[in-house]
Amino acid sequence: MRGHLACAMLATMTSAAMITAATAQVSDDAVRIGVLTDLSSWGRDNSGPGSVEAAKMAVEEFGPTVLGKPIEIISADHQMKTDVGVQIVRGWFDNGKVDAVVDIPNSGIAIAVHNMVRERNKIALLSGPGASSLTDELCSPNTVHFTYDTYALSKVTASAVIKEGGKSWYFITADYAFGQQLEKDATRFVNEMGGKVLGGVKHPTNTADFSSFALQAQSSKADVVAFANAGQDTDNAIKQSGEFGLVQGGQKLVGLLMFDTDVHAIGLKAAQGTYMTTASYWNMDEATRAWSKKFYERTKVMPTMIQTGVYGSVLHYLKAIKAAGTDDSAKVMAKMRELPIEDTFVHGGKLREDGRVIRDMYLAKVKSPEQSKEPWDYLDIVKTVKGEDAFRPVSESKCPLLKK
């Protein structure tokens, strides 16, 4: 009797396995992921080659195959040019059989690709861009905005700085989609908390000389000088503001988008005391330290939140393909929304219908040289802000995909 039962169970299990194998479908017999990043311009250090390595580390952690098919990582440099980025992605879709596009630092390029992904029914896993409009009025069922956005950066940072007495603000802003959105979001929270914006100045990207901008900020007498830019622009702006004595004169410096690599480039002496908001930090616990050590061995720098976001978004995408039994975009997106997001840096994350990943954010303050105990020991995590409190609530959203 037991033998017959065992045989019946084995037959059932074998049948189930055959059905699963039969229904598992991967287009073109491979899952291809394209990392579209900045390999040559001002965002290279914060994303760039590190983003490519982070994607590869996600594949290595998951395994070399999914549903029995190989996982391929390819990469390209968008050169911070929208037309170049769009041309690359169009070629990937038309000829390269790419299923998902990852990273895309630069919000202008990300918005263009995000629209193309929706038209082609592919998937965008965005870690690099910050424009919160991607999951607001421009929301798409095919986009995952994984790491941060201008809403969360502005809300978390502005709230903390105003509570410390930084009531009047002056902005030094990069003149493109991301910088403009970041200033707009920060202005809103400054005003809501009883602060006041005294003025600001916009600069082109990849600016080397910030002396005139720093002097204008100094002459404004604002309590806070906020930098709504990124990459080498942030590095140069904060470093030169320090040289002009803004901090010694009593002004607070706020990097609305800063990374560990920016602090490394600026140096603790010039950057100390600067507030910033981050979605991850290498030195949070044993698991983040171990992962970051592996990353450092490959890149010789500690990971930024963009790079850990590339790792996390690729890993979650692969888990969703496995759970869905197919790489069909709609089914995979449904599984990505259904499954909790768990990786080395994200715990209990959730993908909302508008494409926004709800995850904890961290308010940090740059240490002084005396406080730093080891290489890359740059940040004090001042406060953990729950994702529900950091990101745009459903009640404020313009996204038609959300049920209010």
Q: Following CA atoms 260, 262, 266, 268 in sequence, which dihedral angle do they give, to the nearest 10 degrees?
A: -20
Question: How far is 123 from 117, CA to CA, in rounded Å?
Answer: 6
Alpha helices (H) in 220-304, listed in sequence order: 232-243, 260-266, 268-271, 286-299
Q: Which pairs from 14-21 meet CB under 8 Å and 24+ separation? A: 20/325, 21/68
Question: What is the reported pLDDT for 24?
Answer: 66
Query: Is 368 found in the same domain as 254?
Result: yes
Question: How far is 359 from 341, CA to CA, in rounded Å?
Answer: 9
Question: How far is 21 from 291, CA to CA, in rounded Å?
Answer: 33
Query: Is 234 found in the same domain as 323?
Result: no
Q: What is the pTM of this model?
A: 0.90
- The answer to whether position 72 is within a domain reads yes
Query: Is 140 found in the same domain as 155?
Result: no
Query: Is 97 found in the same domain as 51?
Result: yes
Contact between residue 302 and residue 295 where contact means Cβ atoms under 8 Å apart = yes
Query: Is 271 found in the same domain as 194?
Result: yes
Question: How far is 404 from 401, CA to CA, in rounded Å?
Answer: 9
Contact between residue 362 and residue 385 where contact means Cβ atoms under 8 Å apart = yes
What is the distance, to the nearest Å, from the Cα of residue 236 to the centroid of all Cα atoms in its chain? 22
- The answer to whether position 330 is within a domain reads yes
Question: How far is 29 from 42, CA to CA, in rounded Å?
Answer: 37
Query: Is 229 found in the same domain as 183?
Result: yes
pLDDT in tens, the chain (404 residues): 445 444 444 444 444 443 344 346 999 999 999 999 999 988 899 999 999 999 999 999 999 999 999 999 999 999 999 999 999 999 999 998 999 999 999 989 999 999 999 999 999 999 999 999 999 999 999 999 999 999 999 999 999 899 889 999 999 999 988 889 899 999 999 999 999 999 999 999 889 999 999 999 999 999 999 999 988 899 999 999 988 889 889 999 999 999 999 999 999 988 888 889 999 999 999 999 999 999 999 999 999 999 999 999 999 999 999 999 999 999 999 999 999 999 999 999 999 999 999 999 999 999 999 999 999 999 999 999 999 999 999 999 999 999 86
Question: How far is 188 from 181, CA to CA, in rounded Å?
Answer: 11
Look at the block and give the residue holding tokens 């209010």: 404
Question: What is the reported pLDDT for 7?
Answer: 43
Query: Is 194 found in the same domain as 209?
Result: yes
Question: What is the reported pLDDT for 206?
Answer: 84
- The answer to whether position 346 is within a domain reads yes
Alpha helices (H) in 244-304, listed in sequence order: 260-266, 268-271, 286-299
Side by side, the strands of the sheet bearing 361-366 are 196-203, 168-174, 224-228, 252-255, 275-278, 361-366, 379-385
Question: How far is 298 from 302, CA to CA, in rounded Å?
Answer: 10
What tokens appear for 269 in the block? Answer: 């002496």
Produce one character per residue of 131-161: b if its CB has 16 or more CB atoms within 10 Å, e if not.
bbbbbbebbbbbbbbbbbbbbbbbbbbbbbb
Question: What is the reported pLDDT for 9?
Answer: 43
- The answer to whether position 24 is within a domain reads no
222 — alpha (psi -120 to 50), left (phi > 0) or beta? beta
- The answer to whether position 164 is within a domain reads yes
Query: Is 348 found in the same domain as 255?
Result: no
- What is the domain-level CATH number for residue 239? 3.40.50.2300
How many domains are contained in the chain? 2
Under DSSP, the state recorded for 208 is: -
Domain that holds residue 268: 151-278+361-386
Query: Is 314 found in the same domain as 193?
Result: no
- The answer to whether position 1 is within a domain reads no
Query: Is 366 found in the same domain as 266?
Result: yes
309 backbone dihedrals φ, ψ, rounded to 5°: -70, -35
What tokens appear for 264 in the block? Answer: 């490394």
Question: How far is 151 from 392, CA to CA, in rounded Å?
Answer: 7
Query: Is 99 found in the same domain as 240?
Result: no
DSSP 314-360: HHHHHHHHHHHTB--HHHHHHHHHHS-B-SSS-SSBEE-TTSBEE--
- The answer to whether position 19 is within a domain reads no
Q: Give all strands (DSSP E) within 137-206, no chain letters.
A: 143-145, 168-174, 196-203
- The answer to whether position 215 is within a domain reads yes
Query: Is 237 found in the same domain as 301?
Result: no
